[in-house]
Every structure is written in C-alpha cells, then in structure tokens.
Amino acid sequence: MSHMPEIAPHISAMPGSGVRHILELALRRPDTIILAVGEPGEVVEPRVRDEAAAAWREGDTRYTPNGGILPLREAIVAKLARENAMDVDIEQVWVTVGATQALHMAMALTLGRGDEVLVPDPGYTTFTMSAHLLQAVPVGYPLRPERGFQPDLAELGDLITERTRAIIVNTPSNPLGSTFDRETLVALMDLARRHDLWVISDEVYERFTWGEPHVSPATLDDSGRVLSVFSTSKTYAMTGARVGWLVTPPGWRPTMLRVQEALVSCVDAPAQRAALAAISGPQDSVMRAGAHYRDNLAAAMTQLDAQGIRYLTPTGAFYLWIDVSHASAGDVARWCERLLDEAGVAVAPGTAFGASGEGWIRVCVASDRASLLEGLRRLPSPA
C-alpha cells in the first residue's frame, strides 16, 4: 500500500490557536456564554451593507488592481493623514484580506528562513503562527504585570541576535488591552534604528483607546523601517468582510505588485466598496461602538472589584486581562476547559498568547452587557 507524502515539517511544528480551540468546544455546548473571541457586538451600518449589496447587484465582481480600487486607497490615504498624522503616497497603501494578510505579508517581506522576529509575549497568536509558517523564529519579548505590561527596553536589547530582523509592536494590545505611550514607542524606534530592525506595527484597535490618544510608530520613523497594519474589522465591526491594509515604506510598488499577485491577486470588489463606504462616510458608528465598549469595561471592572478578582486596567481595545492564578493551579489552558464544562463560560486562556500568559485569561467585553456580567459572576473569587 502506498503512503501519502508527508506535509512540510515546519507546518507540523506550527502551533494552533488556543482561542479557536476553546471556541470550537464552546460552540458544541448549548447556552454557553462566549467571551473568548474578539468579535465586536455591533452590527455593520446599513449604508455600508447596502454598498456591498449594490456591488453584487451591479455585477461589480471582477478583478481589481492588486493594491485595491483607487477610491478606497485614496480614502485610506486621507484617513491616515486625518487620524494618524501619517503622510503617505497612494502606492504605499495595499488593500489586504484583513489585517491577517497584511501581517503575514509584512513578515514575508522582511523575514527569511531562520530569521528571528521579536513578538510581544503575551501577544496575538497569529504573530507566532505566521512566523512558523514562514520558517522564521518567533522570539517572545516579555510584557510583565510588575511593569504594567510595558516592555523592558534593556531586556529587549538582550534578546537581539545577529539573526533578528524585525520587531512586532501591537498597541492597543490584543490580548492585554494595554497601550504603549509615545515615550515607549520613541524608545522602541531608537532600538530598531540602532540594531537596524524592521518594525511591524499592528494598529487594528487604533480607534479604541481609553485615555492617551493612539500614536502610530510610522510618525516616529525617519528611515523607512516601519510597516503599518490596519483593518476595518474592529473599527467598523466588519470582521467577516475581511478588509485591511498594509502601509509600506515609499518606493515598494514593484515588489508589492509581485507579492500581492502571488498571495491573493486582490481583495474582493464588493468588500472593498463596503470598506470605502465605512471609511469615507460619517463615523458615528465608531463613536457609538467606543462608548459601548468603554461602558462595558467600566461595568465589568466594577463587577470584578466586587468579587475581589485582579485585572489589568485597560487603556485600549475591548479586552480585560484577568488574573485567575488563585484558581488555575499553574495550567490555565486546562482550567479554561473546566470552566467551560462546569460553569458554561468560554474565556481565552492567557497561554494562548504566550508562555507569560500563564495564570491569566482574556475576556472580550464587546458583547451584550448582561451576558458579559453573568459570565464574570461565574469566575471564582480568591479565597
């Protein structure tokens, strides 16, 4: 009997998503309160949905240019100038299949086989998964509770080797709900300059900051080393529409044409039209979503305080990073499965985001408030 050929060894070694694992279990269990996934609770505005529907009705379903339809790229250039203080040329903007493709492409453009990339730990699962897929080596830089989950620049410097090519910065942070202030970003950019590293900046939660305004690292860059990643998914609750964009340094058009053609050719036209409507129309829905998330966070923190449960006070995004070390007995992933079985609540284990997430969980507060508070009530208090 003949054998099937083996899958590439680096794929077998690639970790799965601990968040997705919990979600799959939760979906099999009726009446579960699901707080594990970063899914906005909002519904996409009718005018945005109507634009996508119109595209389908009109038969606007052909290939678009590799970088995206011109009006969308123009709208993104205007948005970056208006909201991010980023002055970019249209050829620096490449419309992608969500931020996920933008991140993957940024890493593919900067990392060769065996190259090292510094990723936040705890940090978004895809940073590590994409690095494995590209046969690069993810190296976690710890974000610790005793430092308020801010990077230790000296420690970061010690992690850099002759193989280090890039550092991923994610502010506001998924999973932490923390942000890096301007001073921290200036120091990170100095470090990148000294060691000649690329900086890949994940800014998916840019519109949701609680306190200090969001700072785009590209505004602190004087040497063309930042690749910036954005998305419509969280801002406009368009997670399933899959529209993001990558902003490259100037002069990359010939390279980007080849890479985008090889990966996806282009993003689907109706989704691009919806994104254009979202970005260039009134922004009331974003303000409403922000107010909803902020109010949910406040209610959730009051609830946790009443239960005596510790958490990181968030400064961005719509997550709460909660300390359950009093209950999880050194294996938070297993404890989350038990919580799902026994209490009917799905939360994301901290270790899904890196080894230093042990003893912590991530809760998404973007759903309805009643479910959120009921789910939190089911968490065990410290003795």
- Residue pLDDT, tens place only, 263-313: 999 999 999 999 999 999 999 999 999 999 999 999 999 999 999 999 999
For the segment 127-181, what is each residue's pLDDT rounded down to a tens digit?
999 999 999 999 999 999 999 999 999 999 999 999 999 999 999 999 999 999 9
pLDDT attached to residue 219: 98
pLDDT digit string, tens, across residues 16-61 = 888 989 999 999 999 999 999 988 988 999 999 999 999 999 999 9
pLDDT grade for 12, boundaries at 50, 70 and 90: confident
pLDDT above 80: residue 224: yes
Q: How far, in Å, CA of 145 to CA of 324, rounded?
A: 13
What is the structure's pLDDT at 17? 86
CA distance linking residue 48 with residue 16, whole number of Å: 33
User: Other C-beta atoms within 10 Å of 13: how many?
Assistant: 9
Mean pLDDT of the chain: 96
Cα 232 to the center of its chain, rounded Å: 12
Give the CATH number of domain 46-280; options: 3.40.50.150, 1.10.3720.10, 3.40.50.620, 3.40.640.10.
3.40.640.10
Residues 6+ apart with CB under 8 A from 308: 381, 382
Peptide bond into 172 cis (omega under 30): yes
pLDDT tens across 225-248, in order? 999 999 999 999 999 999 999 999
Q: Which residues pair with 33 in a beta bridge?
A: 345
Q: CA-to-CA distance for 122 and 111, rounded, in angstroms? A: 21
Of the candidates 166, 121, 115, 124, the residue with the CA atom closest to the CA atom of residue 140: 121
Q: Does domain 9-44+284-377 have CATH number 3.40.109.10?
A: no
* Contacting residues for 124 by C-beta, under 8 A, at least 6 apart: 170, 174, 175, 202, 353
Could you tell me which residues come within 8 angstroms of residue 336 by beta carbon, excluding any fewer than 6 positions away?
22, 346, 347, 348, 349, 361
Q: Residues, the chain, total?
A: 383
Quick check: helix, strand or coil at residue 207? Answer: coil
Please state the domain extents for the chain. Answer: 9-44+284-377, 46-280
Gap between the terminal Cα atoms of the chain: 60
